[in-house]
Structure 1
């Protein structure tokens, strides 16, 4: 693997750019199945970014099934390369129709996840949902940290289904919808959109806590349709 890629332009989404480069190295055989990736320090130095940016890029690759991480050891290319991994390039989502189609996929996945989470969640899942809501409603809610907490909320809902495939697919999509949240915030009065979004997430949390799958599904449906509406997108929902 070549790590001397130089400085990546600062106005681009750095983790996505780095994960795309590593994915290309894997696809083109410069990193082989089972091979260990360079350390965070080496990657950060080679790309000219912080180690936290590298960690986020590795997390994206893990969500896509391209690498696996071993605690205290590092990240390795997955051995089973026979099946095609999921990959959507960040640049593709600058196209309005591609973005709408990603949200169309998100709709049934997350609605079903909310219903399953209402049935299968445990106390730890509710605690994690509350942690993300605390971050969303705290002093940082106007900043990028509010977006991080928003995406973390959806990952926790996916994990609460107790079905690892929901975590895999929703985690993958979550890495790519930060653009949507930024776009929605830019297109509206920030105070209004943040408060509406928080209220929608609280409704989802309370519905899951009530163990009412239909109520949870409806709360998630309202949130997702509201989110796409704030982006000026229209989804097919029946």
Structure 2
């Protein structure tokens, strides 16, 4: 994990660059709350990339809390507080991955506990939709990656605490890289089965309303995530 393959860079670089362009427009006031982004087709032609790349860029903007998507309508800029957190893009060395998980583990575990207490039926429905998309994602289907990010973002939303949404959104592009790296190391159908089993257990634990059970399920998922990218990390009870 000391470097990135050319494919790894190609997979992450274009969506990041496109998302950053829209972020700059939003932060400068060129795009205001309520403004609708161009259609996927229009953006695909404008940037000269596939619609899959555009969907990943939109997913990043959504995870960062910049936009919201309305099914069948489009993507719209939403009003965000000035304190919104954003990290500069960059490569991830082995030590960067370790630092990422040292931050992510306690955040995600606490988020799961709060989500068990504060979730709504709509949050559970959104988790179920994300799980279904991950289960049906075949070889090369990037929607499975986006669905994975959406699943975790829904948990953050279910906490009822916007700081979790902001912090986890800020590292979403790094989390994306860990998902891509695990896909390089593990056969895809095996990986999907492992992750969906952990996600299903996590969803059910949150639905049970038991914070301790939800925290344990998230901890198990984080352990699995670190093992899949061959990262040795100490977990403390």
Query: Do the structures match in fold with TM over 0.5?
Result: yes
TM-score by length of 2: 0.75
Q: 2:204 aligns with which of 197, 203, 206?
A: 206
What are structure 2's unaligned runs of at least 5 residues?
1-8
Q: 1:228 aligns with which of 216, 226, 229?
A: 226
Q: Residue 169 of structure 1 aligns to a residue in which SS?
A: helix
Give yes or no for contact 1:40–1:54 (8 Å, CA) kept in 2: no
Q: What are the equivalent positions in structure 2 for 1:106-185 lying under 5 Å apart?
A: 106-138=104-136, 140-142=137-139, 143-185=141-183
Q: Distance in 2 between matches of 1:128 and 1:39?
A: 23
Q: Residue 87 of structure 2 aligns to a residue in which SS?
A: coil
1:35 aligns with 2:30: yes
Q: Residue 177 of structure 1 aligns to a residue in which SS?
A: helix
TM-score by length of 1: 0.75
* Greater Rg by CA: 1
Q: Distance in 2 between matches of 1:175 and 1:212?
A: 30
Task: Tell me the equivalent position of 2:57.
Answer: 57
What are structure 1's unaligned runs of at least 5 residues?
1-8
- Bigger RCO (CA 8 Å, 6+ sep): 2
Q: Distance in 2 between matches of 1:50 and 1:77?
A: 28
CA root-mean-square deviation: 3.3
1:193-236 deviations in Å (ceiling 9; x for gaps)? 22111111111011111111001001000101111111111223
Q: Distance in 2 between matches of 1:123 and 1:105?
A: 29
Q: Distance in 2 between matches of 1:78 and 1:159?
A: 15
Give yes or no for contact 2:43–2:54 (8 Å, CA) kept in 1: yes
Paired positions, count: 219
Q: Distance in 1 between matches of 2:19 and 2:67?
A: 14
Give yes or no for contact 1:137–1:198 (8 Å, CA) kept in 2: yes
